[in-house]
Amino acid sequence: MPRTMLDPLFTAVDAPAFTESHLARLATGTLAAVRVPGFLTPEQCQAATTAFDRMPTAGYDPLRVPTSILHVGPSLNDYRTLANTLDTSRYWKDADAARSAWHRARMQPDPITVALARLGDAWGTAVTPATIGGRCVFGGTLREMNEGALVHYDEASREYPAGLFDQTVIAQLAFNLWAQAPVMGGATTVWRHRWEPADEQHREAYGYRREAVEGCQHVTLTPRPGDALLFNPANFHAVDPNPGERRIAFALFLAITSTGQLINWS
């Protein structure tokens, strides 16, 4: 009798391309993660890094995110008010500025456009931006994160319980695409654990202390430059620090909606 029983379906798989089955199994929570190695070529990775170094980057609110993470493009969670609504006055201004900077960077091809096209092919319908009052939100931040990320989860339907988008989200997926990846550190871990009220005793800054996931089944992935990764971010996840090396990745969320569409945002 094994000391710990494991869920045989909660695994990380490598695949040549994302498929409809991957998306469905991630959405239902049976599969842990899917990685597509070499999603971008080395030349595309270098172009993205060069573009990142030229674009105006911003940090996150140090009270919310105590580690340094430089990014291009706003994430909805940075504009969440204490009442769990979106601070639209700041958000739309920053979203418009990020779109302009992105166009000026002229990444050819644009890795986000490529990624959304391939994910849409997998699902069978085009991936469209999530909208708020008919207005498209920003999708596809580019971030440099070298100090890791705390254990946390992302779930828009909990973060904005009154709803945020015009679309109704059924399941949310996280997509990451690495332009630069460290040789040491920077691994992503996904635990087979979704938020429960008792987790709040382990609260720390924007996330949770490791005790929240102690003993939980998990997968750990060490990305290489050019790799793409999909997982269900309602599962607690974290990123190890990678001191002395750069970890630069595109990041966006996808959701399957109540009408079976795929939408995206950051």
Span of 1-9, 110-118, 152-160, 200-208 interacting with Fe ion by CB under 5 A: 152-160
Toward Fe ion, which CB reaches closer, 173 or 256? 173
Site for Fe ion in 191-220 (CB under 5 A): none
User: Residue 110, interface with Fe ion (CB under 5 A)?
Assistant: no
Q: Minimum distance from CB of 149 to Fe ion (Å)?
A: 7
Toward Fe ion, which CB reaches closer, 154 or 199? 154
Rounded to whole angstroms, how far apart are CA atoms 48 and 194? 33
Q: Which two tokens stand for residue 41?
A: 């070529």
Per DSSP, 140 falls in state -
Residue type, 249: A
Give 91's contacts (C-beta < 8 A, 6+ positions apart). Answer: 74, 76, 79
The residue count for the chain: 266
Site for Fe ion in 3-32 (CB under 5 A): none
Rounded to whole angstroms, how far apart are CA atoms 4 and 196? 21
> Is there a contact between 179 and 142 (Cβ–Cβ < 8 Å)?
yes
Give the x-and-dash track for 49-68 against Fe ion (CB under 5 A). --------------------
> Is there a contact between 214 and 189 (Cβ–Cβ < 8 Å)?
no
Rounded to whole angstroms, how far apart are CA atoms 150 and 136? 29
Toward Fe ion, which CB reaches closer, 40 or 238? 238
> Is there a contact between 149 and 181 (Cβ–Cβ < 8 Å)?
no
For 107, counting Cβ atoms within 10 Å of its Cβ (0-12 exposed, 13-18 middle, 19+ buried), the class is: buried
Which of 47, 69, 73, 154 touches Fe ion by CB under 5 A?
154
Toward Fe ion, which CB reaches closer, 121 or 202? 202
Span of 46-54, 83-91, 150-158, 215-223 interacting with Fe ion by CB under 5 A: 150-158
Q: Minimum distance from CB of 188 to Fe ion (Å)?
A: 9
Toward Fe ion, which CB reaches closer, 144 or 154? 154
Span of 27-35, 98-106, 128-136, 153-161 interacting with Fe ion by CB under 5 A: 153-161
Task: Please tell me the count of residues contacting Fe ion according to CB under 5 A.
Answer: 1
Residue of minimal Cβ distance to Fe ion: 154
Q: Minimum distance from CB of 251 to Fe ion (Å)?
A: 8
> Is there a contact between 49 and 179 (Cβ–Cβ < 8 Å)?
yes
User: Residue 238, interface with Fe ion (CB under 5 A)?
Assistant: no
Toward Fe ion, which CB reaches closer, 25 or 152? 152
Preceding peptide of 109 cis, ω within 30°: yes
Toward Fe ion, which CB reaches closer, 154 or 227? 154
Contacting positions for Fe ion (CB under 5 A): 154
